[in-house]
Amino acid sequence: MTSNVGSIDRVLRAALGLVLLYLAFVSGLEQFAAPLLKYGAAIVGVVMLSTAAMKTCPLYSVFGIKTCKVD
């Protein structure tokens, strides 16, 4: 797979992933007590972290989007 996620995009994805995981499991907010929202946020958080780590986003590939400057 070729890289299609740039550095700023990676940082934002990683930050969003960490925030979502924090909200789902640590924050104790009443909104995240419902299993659907809690585990939904956790799944999206893990996906964000993994796409940031792999430098590849499958949806970017489908739509032909590329935020990195170097192949």
pTM more than 0.85: yes
69 within domain boundaries: no
**Is residue 63 in a domain?**
no
And the tokens for 65? 């989007």
Tens digits of pLDDT across the chain (71 residues): 789 999 999 999 999 999 999 999 999 899 989 999 999 999 999 999 999 999 999 999 999 999 988 65
Is 47 within a domain?
A: yes
The answer to the question of residue 30 being in a domain is yes
Could you tell me if residue 9 is left (phi over 0), alpha (psi between -120 and 50 degrees) or otherwise beta?
alpha
Residues 6+ apart with CB under 8 A from 52: 5, 9, 10, 11, 13, 14, 17
The number of folded domains in the chain is 1
Position 31 in a domain: yes
Host domain of residue 21: 7-54
